[in-house]
Structure 1
């Protein structure tokens, strides 16, 4: 039930694509083939950050050893090629390490300073941009989307708030079989936002606005178009000016096409016509756009999470609206306005072919967790969740990051 898959609904039939947080992108189909095993992963092979990322230094040696062992064990069991993990705990220190390989062909190690595609964590940025427009009095949370974007089925009854909260009822274009077949056949193809909406609007809404919660990438694409209409700028330019630059997020971009700055790892997926393991590194994520196409790195996400959690780019009243999370049908999990609450953690996960991400923080404690994985070939649950759970069970046992797999919770999103 990973929210973040910019993912295709048929998760088992095809690998996840830029997901959002938990439930979002689950698929239905046959389980993907197990990935080929790369070089052995073990704690001794971990690559530490080039320098301490916290003035308090590293976590105590005992905790570091437990984390190294737990992460290596998860990676070996799940066949994860590489993972970078950042955990910052005020008053205790930091844990910033990379494990495994960036490239299975030459065994090059994954390193903490590499860029990654972050999938549905993108939604946290896009919705922040929308909420800034609310703060400026240019958009109302309860305005109908038809006021800003035309052609939306029932758009006069679907509000900005409902789109951000995943309560619009609009069909998720990443569930459309025609779209999935086209993407699988040519993952380098470029898509315009209106093309994506065309796939969605070929289907009637799944339910009346606000009747229930259901993850849909269509919602966030519409919000991206709203930002462009109201601001008069491209979404990429708006986010750079109003979100990335004010926080010094110099390694975070919404790239055009398949642009992917160096250094970056290869990303492994089974989202291919025959289900074989392939590299998705240079695939074009334009199909995910406002819902999942951002590129970032460990340090920028470490800076982004506290700003997301404390709302420093928003007015307090707007942040309070954002954090009014509603249940999504899974104990301990709720969803607000482009943000999820998971056993106390606030943030989002993300998945798209070849990459998985967690970016989350514990309100009031300053604890920040970032996980980056260069595969979305899930075996026994989302790869990023497997690592996030292992880490939080050790360091924050009272708050464990755990997003159940679809097989555990059922097809909640349908």
Structure 2
């Protein structure tokens, strides 16, 4: 695989190379809980629904099917370890961990581990922006140049277009200069302005006119993070902590300002390296993701976030985002990917609403199915893609699980949905 291919996969939702095959799933390390139903429990034969059956009861028969499905995907993808959480009102709850957290020691994966959540950070940054819009401190149709100077096309690109990935601004992660800087010293700290400079100093920082098309660009979120800081008067991490995480009761979710990583956590494995070989990325500095990808959470926190993000309502019933702005957020114009739309910092994939996340060593998936009020959370300790199509392992798990549980709504987001457009070297 070429250096250009490696660079293009940095911090979107696909990575470099093939996973090491043959890691077998260990027994699940946490319990299944389900809510008793008035009717008799479903049999194993009836646990797999037809498209009209609705969400199945998460009873022992369904749990056994899920166990087999997850272990099959774990084996075929070579993912070291995975944590899966599924829940729906009246249907019960499934929380299990499979595989290993450390390939050297064979420590088993555990459901209470923290994990880096990559681009799920975008959902928090855009939530902060929407809150400030409700307060009248920003306008979604304001040009970014009103708040941040020196942005190419800054007098035309709006905050709405940044949040909706329709700005036309090159992603800094698609530049050779950034790729070289990160892989040369992945523990270094990057400032937001340094990240922007990689994109803005590229030969072609604007790759299409504002709102002309969809293109996933991490540059957009760095700019929105700076807007939040300027208009709120707080560091982005503090604003998200005070106005989103605490009201949501997400006490084990954080936005670190350094490379700190709370224990317990799994070791993370990547091939986003200077050599292209698999290395541990556990302690790499996530500052290069900042407003686009630096946050940490755990399964219970993301289970809360799945519903809170999709509804705009905190668990105590208070509004996180106003109804009008939440409606605007959830308006998901289609991307170039069939069945996938992208709103304001949020995906809709075949009816599942939420976001995935990826950065070297880790992937995550947090989705909500409104018609069933169901949540799905998947946490992995690798970002190494699977198979000749270079599929994201989180998508492989999400697709297999939803084929079993919600065959009318199969999560099947391909890596191409978040492939940032890269200009040619001569452009």
User: Normalising to structure 2: TM-score of the pair?
Assistant: 0.88
> Hey, what's the Cα distance between the residues in 2 that align with 1:287 and 1:328?
26
Question: Shift of the alpha carbon at 1:16?
Answer: 4.8
Q: Of the candidates 327, 345, 361, which is equivalent to residue 338 of structure 1?
A: 345
- Secondary structure (helix, strand or coil) at the match of 2:326 reads helix
- Secondary structure (helix, strand or coil) at the match of 1:360 reads strand
> Hey, what's the Cα distance between the residues in 1 that align with 2:19 and 2:62?
31
Q: Of the candidates 395, 404, 409, which is equivalent to residue 414 of structure 2?
A: 404
**Are positions 1:235 and 2:236 aligned together?**
yes
Checking the alignment, whether the CA contact within 8 Å between 1:126 and 1:223 is kept in structure 2 is yes
Moved more, 196-205 or 184-193: 196-205
Per the alignment, do residues 251 and 399 of structure 1 end up closer, same or farther by CA in structure 2, a change over 3 Å counting?
A: same
**Are positions 1:382 and 2:392 aligned together?**
yes
Question: Shift of the alpha carbon at 1:353?
Answer: 0.3
Per the alignment, do residues 35 and 16 of structure 1 end up closer, same or farther by CA in structure 2, a change over 3 Å counting?
A: farther
Checking the alignment, whether the CA contact within 8 Å between 2:367 and 2:375 is kept in structure 1 is yes
Counterpart in the other structure of 2:25: 41
Deviations 1:341-386 (A, max 9, x none): 0000000011100000100101132100000000011112111111
Superposition map of 1:13-412 within 5 A: 13=6, 16-19=9-12, 25-26=13-14, 32-35=17-20, 37-38=22-23, 40-42=24-26, 45-49=27-31, 52=33, 59-203=58-202, 204-312=205-313, 313-380=320-387, 381-406=391-416
Moved more, 75-84 or 362-371: 362-371
Checking the alignment, whether the CA contact within 8 Å between 2:144 and 2:155 is kept in structure 1 is yes
- Secondary structure (helix, strand or coil) at the match of 1:326 reads coil
Per the alignment, do residues 152 and 411 of structure 1 end up closer, same or farther by CA in structure 2, a change over 3 Å counting?
A: closer
Alignment coverage as a number of residue pairs: 391
Q: How large is the RMSD of aligned CA atoms in angstroms?
A: 2.0
Per the alignment, do residues 56 and 164 of structure 1 end up closer, same or farther by CA in structure 2, a change over 3 Å counting?
A: farther
> Hey, what's the Cα distance between the residues in 2 that align with 1:11 and 1:315?
42
Extract unaligned runs of 5+ from structure 2.
38-56, 314-319, 423-427
Question: Shift of the alpha carbon at 1:35?
Answer: 2.3
Question: Shift of the alpha carbon at 1:17?
Answer: 4.4
> Hey, what's the Cα distance between the residues in 2 that align with 1:36 and 1:187?
26
> Hey, what's the Cα distance between the residues in 2 that align with 1:292 and 1:56?
39
- Secondary structure (helix, strand or coil) at the match of 1:265 reads coil
- Secondary structure (helix, strand or coil) at the match of 2:101 reads strand
Stretches of 4+ aligned residues off by more than 6 angstroms: 409-412
User: Normalising to structure 1: TM-score of the pair?
Assistant: 0.90
Extract unaligned runs of 5+ from structure 1.
1-8, 20-24
> Hey, what's the Cα distance between the residues in 1 that align with 2:360 and 2:211?
30
Counterpart in the other structure of 1:4: none
Per the alignment, do residues 411 and 319 of structure 1 end up closer, same or farther by CA in structure 2, a change over 3 Å counting?
A: closer
Checking the alignment, whether the CA contact within 8 Å between 1:173 and 1:179 is kept in structure 2 is yes
